[in-house]
Amino acid sequence: MIPTQPSSSTLSRRLSPTALTVTLLSLIFACAMGPPSNCVAAIAEAHYTHTLYLVRHGAYDTTARADPEIGPGLTPLGIAQARLIASRLHGLPTRFDSITSSTMTRARETAAVMHETLTDIPMRQTPLLSECIPPTSNAKVAKETDPKEAAECARRLDEAFKQFVVPAAGLARSDVLVCHGDVIRYFVDTKAWLGMSVAHASLTVIRVRADGSMTVLAVGDVGHLPPNMQSWGDSDPQLVVPNGAVAH
């Protein structure tokens, strides 16, 4: 069944002026240049897509002692990265509906820093998005991973996928998920996830259409991060005062 088209007033509340103009022009073109089926398809694509912006947490202190369930917090670099990804999202012609983070400290802190820029977006947390290591065909990694823990990880991430990567209900939605490298890579590809690399505070975008089909628009995009502020977790650069600095 074709969903009822939202009214123009409802659309204007959901879309920024720029995005609304582009959307309306796209609809006019589709309806004018082709058969009615093109117009119907354009309406569904424009108004009922669900776009997910998956953000990996910022750099964190890998040497700190912390409860393994929640892990350590962000470093100064991680805080700066979180501010930069927030600025990038704030500059998009999109009105976000929610920010959901995992319950781990580095993801919660990243979301909190982002919320300083994206102030009007409701926030929440869920353990479904917390880091874990899912099954992999890589023999070395599989040998170092408990099979039961890997299976439980896959079960939890599959549940998270079913909850978040779904068509929009009635209106277009744009949601931000602040989570972890393995979670994001598994969402993109459950088999080849280990072959991908997503940096701290990188952006991965998945769009779900009204019919449930999906398109991955970006994976691990770091265009908002200067090269000297990009990190992946190994030998990360640090934002510190240089040794020998003298105050004047």
> The pTM is what?
0.80
Q: How far is CA 80 from CA 88, 123, 170, 225, 237, in A?
A: 13, 20, 36, 9, 12
Tens digit of each residue's pLDDT (9 = 90 or more) over 97-141? 999 999 999 999 999 999 999 999 999 999 999 999 999 999 899
Closest alpha carbon to 102 in 164, 155, 41? 164
Domain range list for the chain? 1-47, 50-229
Q: How far is CA 96 from CA 52, 63, 154, 175, 226, in A?
A: 10, 34, 28, 6, 25
Helices H / strands E in the chain, number of each = 8, 6
Closest alpha carbon to 207 in 218, 215, 199, 219? 215
Angle value at C-alpha 222, between 205 and 109, nearest 5 degrees: 80
Closest alpha carbon to 152 in 136, 138, 135? 135
Q: What element of type H or E holds 204?
A: strand 203-208
CA distance 137 to 124: 34
Place of tokens 């319950």: 103
Tens digit of each residue's pLDDT (9 = 90 or more) over 34-68? 666 665 555 555 558 999 999 999 999 988 889 98
| Whether the predicted pLDDT of 205 surpasses 80 | yes
Contact 49, 209 (CB under 8 A): yes
CATH number attached to the domain at 50-229: 3.40.50.1240
Highest mean pLDDT among 41-45, 140-144, 145-149: 145-149
| Whether the predicted pLDDT of 14 surpasses 70 | no
